[in-house]
Chain A
Amino acid sequence: MPEELPLFDVVVIGGGNAGMSAALTASEAGVRVLVLESAAPGMRGGNSRHTRNMRRISQAYPEAEYLADLLKVTGGKTDEQLARIAIRESFPAHAWMQAHGVRFQPALGGTLHLDRTNAFFLGGGKAVLNGYYAAAERRGIRILYNAEVTALNISRGVFESGTAIQNGEPLNFRAKALVAAAGGFEANLEWLEEAWGEAARNFLVRGTPHNQGKILKALLENGAESAGDPRQCHAIAIDARSPKFDGGIVTRLDSLPLGIVVNRNGQRFDDEGADLWPKRYAVWGRLIAMQPGQIAYSIFDSKVRGLFMPSVFPPVCANTIAELAAKLELPVEETECTVKRFNQAVIGGGFDHFRLDGCGTQSLDPPKSNWAQRIDAPPFFAYPLRPGITFTYLGVRVAESAAVRMRDGAASPNVFAAGEIMAGNILGEGYLAGIGMTIGAVFGRIAGREAARATQH
C-alpha cells in the first residue's frame, strides 16, 4: 500500500523560483500548502539555482521598451496579453521578492552588459532559493524532498490526486488545487532526441538533471493545450569538458567572436563576427549541434586572451597551430590551412570588441564580419565546444489567471502552471536574458493566489 498524505489545500510540484513564489503566496492567503520537490535539499530549486538576474521594468527601463525588446526577440510569437502581465507585474514581483528574503546587488561587469534592464541577485539564484525556503519553513509550508511526481489524476480538467516516488516508495497525495512548476524537459535526452535525432545524445544539459518534463507530459496527456515550439530549445556553446548535467553558468564560453571556430574537420562553418555577442551567443548551440559529432573548437591567440571571462577549465595551449591541432586531435594540415586562409583574408583596422568594428575578411567563405584579427601571436589557445541546452520552449497554454487551458478551450478550475512549464506562452522563440525568472516570479505569484482562491469553492 502506498503511503497516503493528508489532504492539502494546494500542492505545488517543483520547488524552483516559480514553485516557491506560488507556495509562499498561497500560504500567505491562508491555505495549507505542500511542496513536492524531486531533488535532495542540496540540489533543490532546479535551474533557478543557476540564475543571476531577472529583467524588470524600472524608471530606466519602461514597460514599452521591455515589450518592444520581447516582440523583437520572439519575432512577435508571443501571447501579448500574458507578456504584458509578465512585464507590468515584474515591478511588484521584484519588491515582493525582496520582502521574501531575496537581496539584490548592483550589476557586476561582464560580457552581456545588462545593468540597466536587469536586477542582479546578491549571491545568485541559490541564495534566492535559500531565502524562499527559509521563509517557507517559517510559515510552516510542508516541503518534501526527493519526491518526484510521476502521475497526475486529472479528470475533465479537474485535478484530483497524484503519485510521487519518494526514496523509491510510492506516495499518494491529494489537494484541492495544483500548481505545476516543474520546469521544462531539457534534461530528458530521449525526449530531446525526438526533435533533434541522435545529435541530442551529445548535448550537455546546463541545468538540473531533475527537469525531466514528467509533469508537462502528464498535463498534455490529460488534455492540456500546448504552447511553444516542441522542436526548439535554447542552446549555447559551452566548454565540451563540462559535466553532462548541471554545469551552470561557469561553462559558458565568450571567446568565439574573438577568434575562429572550427569543426572536427578543422574547417570553419559560420561567421563568428556576425553581430554583437549578446545577440549571437544563443545561436551557437544550434550551429554546433549541426556539425559532425556535435563538437567544435574556438581558436584564438594571445592578443585576445584577457578580453573575455574564461570558463572554469583552462584553455588548451600550444606554441604553433599544428601543435594545437594535434592536442585537440584535429586534422593538422587542414587546421593549419584554415588558419592560414583566414589570416590572409583579414583586412585589418581598428579592432574594438565592444562594438561592431567592421574589421572583417575579404573573399572568405564563410566570412568573419567583425573583430577579424590575424591569429598569429603565440601561444595559441583553444576551447572545445559542445551545445549546452538551457531550456526547452514547449509548455502548457495558460489563461491570465495562470489556469491551464484545456484543448477544448476551457481553463481548468484547479490546475495552474507557472515558470518554465508555461514560458512558451510568452517566448514563442528567442530569448531575452533574465525573463525566465520574471515569468516564474510573476506567474508563480498569480498561480499561488488563484490556487488559494480555487480552494474556497
Chain B
Amino acid sequence: MERRTAFAPSDVAYFANLCHNCGECYYACPYTPPHEFAVNVPKLLAELRAQSYRECARPRWYGAGVALPALALCLVIFLAGTHENAPAAGQFYSVISHSTMVAIFGAATIFVAIALGASLMRFAKGPGASMDSKAFAQALRDAASLRYLSGGDSASSARRWFHHFTFYGFLLCFASTTSAAIDHYLLGLRAPYPFLSAPVLLGTLGGIGLLAGPAGLFFLKRHRDPLIVDSHQHRADAFFLAILFLTSLTGLLLLILRNWTAMNVLLRLHLAVVLALFLTMPYGKFVHGFYRFAALVRYAFEAASSAGRKAV
C-alpha cells in the first residue's frame, strides 16, 4: 500500500488478496477499537476478499445457489448404486465403469478449468495488471514458501505449516491422479495399483498431508482472535476444510480397505466427495489460491519496478 497515495477499485481487490490476515496491523494500529475511528483492516480486507470471490466468479450464474443442488445431486448419483452386489476385492471398475468415471470427471474438469480460468481473468483484469516472467517466478517462490503467511509469532508459523501440509498434500494428490492417468493410458496399467506404485505412494503421502493440514487449520481457526476475522465466512471456510479433509479421509480408507466387501460404498463416497470438491472449486474458497497467486505476481512486478526506479 505504501506504493500508492490513491486507490482504484481494482487495487482494493488486489490488496485484499495480498492480505494474509495475520492481524499484525490490527494490533499495531493505534486506531483499532476502542479508539473512535474503530479501524479494523484485517476484517475489512477479509470482507473485501469474500466480495472479490463473489464478483469475479464465472460463469456469473454459477454460485452457491446452483452448486449446492449440483452437489446434492452428485451425492445421490453416487450413493444410488450402493445396493449392488459386493464387488470383487479391489475391483474399482466393477463398481463404476472406467468410462463412466472418465466421462463424469472429464466433463467436470473441463468445466472447472474454464470457469476458473474465466474467473481468474476477471480478477486479474484492470489497470496496473502487468507482469513479466521474473515477477512470475518470484511469486511462485513466495507462494511455494508462503513467505507472507508467517506473521512472526508462533501461532502464525503453525498456520503456515498446516497450510503447507494442505497445499502440498493437495498437489501430491493431484500428482497421484495424474500418474494414475499416465499408467492407465500410456503404460496400460490398470487399477488397483500396488502399494509401491507412483499413484499409491503419492496419494498416501498427499492424503496424510491433506488430513493433517485441514485438521490443524480448523483447530487454529478456533483459536484465532474473533476481532480480526470475518465471521460471515466461517461456513464457507469450514466447508472447504471439511471437503478437503473428507476427500483425503475417504481416499485413504479406500486404500486401506480396498479388499473389504463394502468397498463399493466407500468408492462411491470418495468419488462423490471429489466431485463435490471439483464442482465447488470455481466459486468456493478454493479460488483464493488463484487470486492470491495473481496478486503475488502483481506485487512482485510492482516491487521490482519500484526498486528499479529507486536505483536510477
Interface set of A (CB-CB < 8 Å, partner B): 40, 42-43, 49-50, 108-109, 123-127, 130, 243, 246, 248, 250, 306, 309-310, 312
Pick 14 A–B contacts, CB within 8 A, sort by A.
Answer: A42-B32, A42-B33, A42-B34, A42-B35, A109-B2, A123-B24, A124-B29, A126-B27, A126-B28, A127-B24, A127-B27, A127-B28, A130-B28, A243-B37
Q: How far is the CA of A204 from the CA of B35 in the complex (A)?
A: 16
Q: Which residues of B contact A124 (CB under 8 A)?
A: 28-30
Which chain B residue lies CB-closest to A310?
Answer: B5
Known: A42-B34, A312-B37. 12 other contacts (CB 8 A): A43-B34, A123-B28, A124-B29, A124-B30, A125-B30, A126-B28, A126-B30, A127-B24, A130-B27, A248-B30, A250-B31, A310-B5
User: What is the minimal beta-carbon distance from B153 to any residue of chain A, in angstroms?
Assistant: 9
A246/B24 in contact, CB under 8 A: no
The answer, yes or no, to whether B68 is at the interface (CB within 8 Å) is no
User: What is the minimal beta-carbon distance from A56 to any residue of chain B, in angstroms?
Assistant: 21
A108/B2 in contact, CB under 8 A: yes
Which chain B residue lies CB-closest to A121?
Answer: B28
Q: Which residues of B contact A246 (CB under 8 A)?
A: 30, 35-36
User: What is the minimal beta-carbon distance from B302 to any residue of chain A, in angstroms?
Assistant: 14
* With A124-B30, A126-B30: A306-B35 Cβ-Cβ less than 8 Å: no
The answer, yes or no, to whether B6 is at the interface (CB within 8 Å) is yes
Which 10 pairs between the two chains have the least Cβ-Cβ distance?
A123-B28, A127-B28, A49-B30, A126-B28, A126-B30, A108-B2, A248-B30, A42-B34, A243-B36, A50-B30
Q: Which residues of B contact A309 (CB under 8 A)?
A: 5
Q: How far is the CA of A50 from the CA of B35 in the complex (A)?
A: 12
* With A108-B2, A306-B6, A309-B5: A126-B29 Cβ-Cβ less than 8 Å: yes
Q: Which residues of A contact B24 (CB under 8 A)?
A: 123, 127
The answer, yes or no, to whether B25 is at the interface (CB within 8 Å) is yes
Q: Which residues of A contact B28 (CB under 8 A)?
A: 123-124, 126-127, 130
Which chain A residue lies CB-closest to B34?
Answer: A42
Q: Which residues of A contact B30 (CB under 8 A)?
A: 49-50, 124-126, 246, 248
Q: Which residues of B contact A248 (CB under 8 A)?
A: 30-31
Which chain B residue lies CB-closest to A122?
Answer: B28
B34/A40 in contact, CB under 8 A: yes
Q: Which residues of B contact A312 (CB under 8 A)?
A: 37
Candidates B25, B31, B32; contact of A123 at CB < 8 Å: B25
Q: Which residues of B contact A42 (CB under 8 A)?
A: 32-35
Q: How far is the CA of A34 from the CA of B43 in the complex (A)?
A: 35
- Residues facing A in B10-34 (CB within 8 A) are 24-25, 27-34
Q: Which residues of A contact B6 (CB under 8 A)?
A: 306
Name the residue in B5, B30, B31, B34 with the highest tally of chain A Cβ atoms < 10 Å from its Cβ.
B30
Q: Which residues of A contact B29 (CB under 8 A)?
A: 124, 126
Q: Which residues of A contact B37 (CB under 8 A)?
A: 243, 312
Q: Which residues of B contact A40 (CB under 8 A)?
A: 34
Q: Which residues of B contact A310 (CB under 8 A)?
A: 5
Q: Which residues of B contact A108 (CB under 8 A)?
A: 2
Q: How far is the CA of A32 from the CA of B186 in the complex (A)?
A: 74
Name the residue in B2, B24, B31, B34 with the highest tally of chain A Cβ atoms < 10 Å from its Cβ.
B31
Name the residue in A50, A123, A306 with the highest tally of chain B Cβ atoms < 10 Å from its Cβ.
A123
Q: How far is the CA of A125 from the CA of B27 in the complex (A)?
A: 11
